[in-house]
């Protein structure tokens, strides 16, 4: 005799129940999708251009900085100790008028002579200037009590990215030292441990160490009360 047909909507394999998903598989899926989401958010944050700080610049402030450098040069040339104090407006005005940056038509010329060579003691080569101009779009510096906060816009394959670093400056054994306190790329914060390790390697590498060497006449360099203070012996 023929077997009776199964009820409507029920297959002949209806008696075989699906086994529930393993808890480990569920956890793995959650972790996998969370990782994808975190990577996507991190990528968006990396390329999210942070707004620049509100710093003031003016030709008058740049001229004051020039005059201060000239006065220090004269004192050092006469064998006299001197102290250079530059505030935030003077520093940013000086950088805006002397750094060769892409899109800055007024500063596409290489620094030449005078007080411009005072901080480093050497004029950048044309190759260094061209590399800076092709990569760095903007530089702004905030002086916060005893700390400095740098804001840099640089080009990565045609896309502007921002880097912000905050820390303390000091002179140690004739070299410039930077103690990082925080930083971020775009809107993505850099872990302090990773930042400290990166800065330490950067400063201790042989190719960069000589670039961080201060002129022999500078005995101390620090940020104090919102000013860059350099002591000359």
Annotate 76-122 with DSSP letters as a single string: HHTT--EEEEEEHHHHHHHHHHHS--TT-GGG-SPP-SGGGGTTTSS
- Encode pLDDT of 134-183 as tens digits: 577 788 999 999 999 988 887 767 777 788 889 998 888 888 888 999 98
For all residues of the chain together, what is the average pLDDT? 74
Closest CA to 96 of 70, 63, 73: 63
Instruction: Give the pLDDT band (50/70/90) at residue 198.
Output: confident
Contacts of 196 (CB under 8 A, 6+ apart): 180
In sign, the C-alpha dihedral spanning 183, 188, 193, 194 is: negative
- Rounded to 10 degrees, the C-alpha dihedral 114/117/122/126 comes to -80
What is the spatial distance between Cα 128 and Cα 133, in angstroms, rounded to a whole number? Answer: 9
| β-sheet bridge partners, residue 139 | 152
What is the spatial distance between Cα 202 and Cα 219, in angstroms, rounded to a whole number? Answer: 22
- Encode pLDDT of 87-143 as tens digits: 999 999 998 887 755 445 434 443 333 333 434 444 444 454 445 445 777 889 999
What is the spatial distance between Cα 170 and Cα 176, in angstroms, rounded to a whole number? Answer: 6
What is the spatial distance between Cα 125 and Cα 131, in angstroms, rounded to a whole number? Answer: 10
The DSSP secondary-structure symbol of 187 reads T
């Amino acid at each position: 005799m023929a077997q009776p047909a199964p009820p409507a909507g029920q297959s002949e394999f209806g008696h075989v129940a699906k086994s529930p998903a393993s808890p480990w598989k569920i956890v793995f899926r959650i972790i996998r999708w969370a990782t994808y989401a975190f990577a996507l958010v991190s990528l968006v944050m990396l390329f999210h251009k942070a707004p620049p700080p509100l710093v003031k610049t003016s030709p008058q402030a740049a001229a004051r900085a020039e005059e201060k450098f000239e006065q220090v040069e004269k004192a050092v040339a006469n064998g006299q100790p001197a102290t250079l104090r530059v505030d935030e407006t003077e520093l940013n005005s000086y950088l805006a008028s002397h750094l060769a940056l892409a899109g800055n038509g007024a500063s596409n010329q290489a620094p030449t002579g005078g007080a411009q060579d005072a901080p480093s003691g050497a004029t950048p080569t044309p190759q260094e200037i061209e590399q800076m101009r092709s990569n760095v779009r903007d530089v702004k510096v905030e002086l916060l009590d005893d700390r400095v906060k740098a804001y840099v816009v640089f080009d990565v394959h045609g896309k502007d990215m921002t880097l912000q670093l905050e820390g303390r400056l000091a002179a140690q054994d004739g070299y410039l030292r930077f103690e990082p306190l925080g930083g971020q790329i775009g809107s993505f914060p850099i872990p302090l441990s990773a930042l400290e390790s990166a800065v330490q390697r950067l400063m201790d590498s042989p190719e960069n160490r000589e670039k961080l060497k201060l002129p022999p006449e500078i005995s101390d360099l620090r940020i104090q009360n919102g000013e860059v203070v350099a002591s000359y012996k």
